[in-house]
Structure 1
Amino acid sequence: MGLNPKGRNWGNLVNWDDLGKFYAGFILSWTVILYAGVAFLVINRNVAFIKIRNLPLAVAAISFLHVYLVKIFLAYTTNGHFSCSAEFWIMSIYLPFGIALFQANLAQLRSISDQQRDLAFSGEKILDGTSKQSPLRNLWERWTALSGIQRSYVYIGLGMVVQLVITGILYATTPTLQGDWSSYGDVSHAKGQKLCRESLEWIPSAFWQLAWSWLYGPYLLFRVRKIHDVHYWRLQVIYSVLSGLPGTPLWLAAVYSTGFKHVNRWWVPPMWLAPGIIVMQFTTIFFPVYEVISGRSRMRTTLAILDSWEDRQGLRASTNHAGSSKVSTLRPSTTSSQQRDMCSMAALEKALAVNPDPLLKFAATQDFTAENVLFLMQVRRWKEAFAFAPRLNKAVTESAKSHLFSTGVQIYTSRVNDKTTDFPINIESKIRQDLDAIFGPAVPTSQLVSNEEAKFYVAESWIKSPQTTSAFDMNTHDHSGDSAETLTAPEPITFPTEKSEPMFPAHPGVAPLGESRAKMRAGFDEHVFDAAESSIMYLVLTNTWQKFVKQQRTSMESSTAG
């Protein structure tokens, strides 16, 4: 292996030896692979579990880190041709900003987990009205109203501003960083480059990496210790934290300890940060890439199982006419047949009708798709109410239909409209547009209505009830609690009598906008949610349900083996 015997000596000679070529080739290859993964995620950005990862923030984080990674991988090759001031700005801005954005991206795991638990275990949130108090009090109320992830964004953003200010001050007050090495005496260009990089002004640039690996990272690990998601998000946190632990201590030792002098010739000090950065990039991009690919494979398997199940059902039905002896030979008795039955649409529909709680718990705590299961449960109960609604001459009475429309608006605002819910269901644009046309005009133009108005928008068929809920050992806001939290579940929908005042026209958030807003649009009937229900049912069947069945099967096998 051909090497420059002097290694990185800050001279004018470019180290285009075998090691320099390896560094350049590796970073070029990694850049192509990394951004091929980014392109793949951008193409698949509408997939539900890609959406919740905040792809723009993730790409921004790995891009900032990659600029720094390119610089340190080419440090040996470029030798003394890369100025100290340029390297200072890259390490002081791109590395801290990249890690800060990465922290913000990973913090979403805890936030989304909490929001999903709130969705499944605490029902709908009532939105507070706009405050009429003093601006200072109003500002404080807005701050206290921010979610945990929003506050994290504010803290991280302020930290980035502070980092930028400190970097500017250090650069402006340190002549050596600007290329004035007179304080070192009469030194050569190479010696000045080396001494410049050993000044104490570089230490703040490593603060973010140190804080991430040794402070915030372990804290985040503790906070997510009981989250067992199926999206490898918690695993990403573990790998990223552990891989970054040695980075800053080794970098500091390499810069300020003479014991690393020989190593620094071939492995420059910032390279100790490279393994942690690469792991952060890899887990951020390729964990979701793997999930997309495995999800497609799982969908193909599911469709094959469904086709097999339907063929078997058809064959079984046809043989019913040929005699019971033939039927008995076709009765499934193997484990594979039972698995096919469990993966079928009929099994999912039975679970939703008989006992949806285990599926809802799994969707909320592991798959982060509780909104889909809740939507299916709500629509099922709404359709049951429509089927048994009071009728006059075989037509649903006006008061009952008005009540059903009001409840339909509640389903729309809590599950479909992305302006009124944090977790809208993922349906086709045409289906969403049709629902928008029917229910959209009945939604107040502002989400922030007064408490008196907001109570009308709480889905009254979705409240915590001892008679309709199942207990699970979990805490909505603290994963380590011992208290039992109950799942939200639908109560029977009751209808007003003909003598009752119409609910919807009297709505204080609607009436001021005119009676036309409360008018039921053409197309509102018992089939109004059919297209959305079919779309979400298929999505749950091919994704959440298959993961749930697999988990249940694994759990049963483990308990049997134990």
Structure 2
Amino acid sequence: MGSELGITADSKPQAVYSAVSIWWAVWAGVWTVAVALGMAFLISRRHLPILRVRSLALSLSAIVLLHLYWLSVQFGVMIGPIMPGEAQYWLMGIWLPCGLALFHGSNSHFLHVAKLQKKYANYAEYQSHLRESPPDSRKNRGLIARFRRLEYSAKVVILVAISMFIQIFLTILMWLISRKWHDSWGIPGTEVHGTEMQKKVEQGRGWEWWPGVFWQVFWSWIVAPIILWNSRHIHDTQGWRAQTIGCSIAGLHATPMWLIGLFVPAMEVVNQYWIPPQWICLSILIIEICTIFLPCWEVMRHQSLHQETLDAIRQWELRTKGAGSDTKSMGSTATMVESMMSGWKSTNDSVLSDNSSRESILNMSALEYVLERNPMPLQKFSALNDFSGENVAFLTSVGEWKCSLPKVLQDSTGSLTANDKEVIRECFNRALYIYAEFISVSHAEFPVNISSQDLRKLETVFETPARILYGDEVEVDPATPFMKHGFSEPLASPSYSDFSESSVTAIKNRAQYMGEVPGSFNATVFEEAEQSIKYLVLTNTWPKFIKKRQSWTESTETLRSSPEMV
């Protein structure tokens, strides 16, 4: 048997320009261009909600390392005989396992986001739990306790860095103690003899390769199945679960088939056209499809749905123009919303059955009607399926805050008494929590996506009090707010269900800001941010929610009308 690049003792020390090698070289160039374009497409649209929640930095860094290994294998048939004997050892010992470590670190981000979003599925209950829970006075110390209190992204970086260090250390150690690649030092008896090609064949396999094999098995057969199992009940609208499943399954065959191709004599015929590491490259190919091209397709689908929603809104506005049309359109909208939320089609109107029905429900009035009357179904959908629960939770929190505003804050004319100032301070503290929980890029777990102008305006009002009350958190880039790599310790706090509590929610109802209330604070302080998030929900989450309700309604109608059910 030959080495993993298909070199045998009879191979000549020269490049191979056969039809097979040329095909793989051309294929490598074409696919590399496609991958580069796909990565550029995702980077250029990283501000979209569907991509902001993903850990693009980690996943694309992993793809770069994996693709470099993939390229070396595609050209292996052509330049294998003239490559240094240890070149493929270093490629498989460092680039491949390090790429896999980074990739599965980013892949686990899916589970982390889904876990944190659960609190938004029933946000009112979550808030009630916080009010009733006593503060956690335990002061866990030690390295493990400090590690547990780190941000999730920081934990991933540390674990991935440790695994990469171990792999690199073992790879270097195997190279140092084996005399396959050097004769002047190492363990006696590990050297190889014979012609140059015979040495390369032996250098291409052996016990020195087993650390790399172990890490491939660890990531593909231990970590990936765990991620796959934990994601079995998650059903998102962004294709993230499908991507995770595809990537987890993709690597299962790689190492076993690589070993079979390398050590089973019957595979010699196959190895002439498909060398053993091509089995690993097949899994890398599937990973690249799922990590790059599937999100690209989801982005285009999202943009198409976004444009479809805008067109429906425009048509609805044109249709409802004219004297006396507002009252009629509002009544029609309310009827359509109630029909959709009830889950049953009426005999006269069917939800989204025609263009006019779709236009009647894909508008701001319908969304506001749901937010005011029955936001819970939309709240659960946005949290458990769309991973944007913070948007609806922010809108409902602001709505409740506005409904509870006292008259003195709505009409600020005239002198204020001491009691009035105390009432305003109480309103400010509730607004301060909303800012820290949903808007602040320093404190919020999932900051809502508002314009930089609106963000700066709110920061002038709330940021200084937020830092005083909630502490100084690590600053993050507003463009990638979910990638917090800070190593500061958040406050210890009790847990709720199966997700941890942020330092902001731990302090709520247990501390109040007693400083001076900024003069720019008023009843309309959240107005621009609220309108911005309403529009974001209207054009992103709302149409997906309607489509899901329509699909559920149609399936229910099918069951009801089925002859077997009569």
The interval holding the TM-score normalised by the smaller chain is 0.7 to 0.9
In the alignment, which residue of structure 1 is the partner of 2:94?
93
Partner of 2:73: 72
| Distance in structure 1 (CA, Å) of the matches to 2:460 and 2:93 | 51
Instruction: Supply the distance in 2 between the matched residues of 1:219 and 1:414 (Cα, whole angstroms).
Output: 31
Distance in 2, matches of 1:284 and 1:547, equals 22
8 Å contact from structure 2 (residues 192, 202) kept in 1? no
2:498 matched to which residue of 1? 477
Counterparts of residues 490-509 of structure 1 (less than 5 Å): none
Specify the alignment match of 1:519 in structure 2.
517
2:335 alignment partner in structure 1: none
Cα distance, 1:447 vs structure 2: 3.7
State the partner residue of 2:117.
116
2:403 to 384, 387, 405: 384
Aligned-pair CA distance for 1:262 = 2.4
How far did residue 433 of structure 1 move? 0.3
Q: Decide whether the 8 Å contact of 1:97 with 1:160 is kept in 2.
A: yes
Deviation at 1:394, TM superposition (A): 7.0
Take 2:234 and 2:91, find their aligned partners in 1: how far apart are those partners? Answer: 36
Q: Percent identity?
A: 28
In 2, distance between residues paired with 1:106 and 1:365?
Answer: 18
8 Å contact kept, 2:178–2:190: no
Shift of 1:139: 3.2
Mapping for residues 353-364 of structure 1, pairs under 5 Å? 353-364=372-383
Aligned pairs (5 A) from 1:223-262: 223-262=230-269
**Partner Cα distance (1:68, 1:533) in 2:** 48
Q: After superposition, what is the alpha-carbon deviation per residue over 1:458-492, rounded to whole angstroms, capped at 9, x for unaligned?
A: 9xxxxxxxxxxxxxxxx9439xxxxxxxxxxxxxx
CA distance in 2, matches of 1:138, 1:92: 34
1:561 alignment counterpart: 558
SS at match of 2:320: helix
- Is the alpha carbon distance of 1:130 and 1:383 closer, same or farther for their aligned partners in structure 2, counting shifts above 3 Å? closer
Matching residue of 1:484: none
Matched residue, 1:341: 360
Q: Provide the rounded CA distance (Å) in 2 between the counterparts of 1:238 and 1:42.
A: 23
Pairing of 1:160-559 with structure 2 (within 5 A): 160-178=164-182, 186-315=193-322, 317=324, 335-386=354-405, 397-445=420-468, 447-448=470-471, 476-477=497-498, 515=515, 518-522=516-520, 524-559=521-556
Q: Give distance in 2, aligned partners of 1:53 and 1:167.
A: 32
Measured in 1, the distance between the counterparts of 2:6 and 2:510 equals: 78
Give per-residue Cα distances to partners, 1:243-274, cap 9 Å, x unaligned: 22211101011112222122222221111111
Please state how far the C-alpha of 1:390 moved relative to its aligned partner: 7.8
Measure the CA separation in 1 of the matches of 2:280 and 2:412: 77
Tell me the TM-score normalized by structure 2: 0.79
Structure 2 CA distance, aligned partners of 1:507 and 1:361?
Answer: 28
> 1:356–1:530: structure 2 CA closer, same or farther, 3 Å change rule?
same
Contact 1:306 1:340 in 2 (8 A): yes
Structure 2: how far apart are the matches of 1:402 and 1:183?
A: 77
Letter of the 1:546 counterpart: P
Greater displacement, 207-216 / 248-257? 207-216
Alignment check: 8 A CA contact 1:117 1:364 kept: yes
Letter in 1 for 2:227: L
Q: CA deviation at 1:312?
A: 1.2
Match of 2:160 in 1: 156
Alignment CA distance shift 1:320-1:132 (3 Å): closer
- CA distance 1:399–1:76, change in 2 (3 Å): same
Q: Which amino acid aligns with 1:77?
A: M
Secondary structure, counterpart of 1:432 in structure 2? helix
Post-superposition shift, 1:20?
A: 1.5
AA matched with 1:109:
F
Verify the 8 A CA contact 1:8 1:15 in the aligned structure 2.
no
Q: In 1, are the aligned partners of 2:181 and 2:203 still within 8 Å (CA)?
A: yes
- Compared CA separation, residues 405 and 46, structure 1 to 2 (3 A): same
Q: Is the 8 A contact 1:8 1:265 kept in 2?
A: no
1:464 match: none
SS state at 1:262 partner:
helix
CA distance in 2, matches of 1:259, 1:320: 79
| 8 Å contact from structure 2 (residues 450, 532) kept in 1 | yes
The 1-side partners of 2:13 and 2:172 are apart by 29
SS in 2 for 1:177: coil
Query: Displacement of 1:195 after TM fit?
Result: 1.4
Mapped partners of 2:152, 2:529: distance in 1: 31
How far the C-alpha of 1:445 sits from its partner, in A, is 4.4
* Rounded Cα–Cα distance in structure 1 between residues aligned with 2:253 and 2:349: 56
Q: Deviations over 1:69-112 (max 9, x none)?
A: 00111100113111221211110111001111111111011111
- Contact between 2:425 and 2:517, CA under 8 Å: does it hold in 1? no
TM-score by length of 1: 0.80
RMSD over aligned Cα atoms:
3.3
SS in 1 for 2:218: helix
* Deviation of 1:529 (Å): 0.9
Do the aligned partners of residues 390 and 532 (structure 1) sit closer, same or farther apart at CA in structure 2, a change above 3 Å counting? closer
CA distance in 2, matches of 1:418, 1:43: 22
What is the CA–CA distance in structure 1 between the aligned matches of 2:86 and 2:248, rounded to whole Å?
Answer: 30
What is the rounded CA distance, in whole Å, between the counterparts of 1:393 and 1:445 in structure 2? Answer: 26
Deviation of 1:138 after TM superposition, in Å, equals: 4.3
AA in 2 matched with 1:35: A
Where structure 1 has 5 or more consecutive residues not aligned to the other structure, the ranges are 1-5, 322-330, 450-457, 459-474, 479-503
- How far has the Cα of 1:12 moved from its partner? 2.3
Aligned to 1:35: 36
Matched with 1:56 is: 57
Take 1:299 and 1:547, find their aligned partners in 2: how far apart are those partners? 10
| Cα distance change on mapping 1:403 and 1:186 into 2, 3 Å | closer
1: CA distance between counterparts of 2:324 and 2:25? 66
Amino acid at match of 1:520: P
| Conserved? CA contact 1:109–1:233, under 8 Å | yes
- Please give the alpha-carbon distance, in whole angstroms, between the structure 2 residues aligned to 1:185 and 1:318: 89
Task: Give the 3 Å change call, closer, same or farther, for CA 32–145 of structure 1 in structure 2.
Answer: same
Amino acid in structure 1 at the alignment position of 2:177:
T
Report how many residues are paired.
490
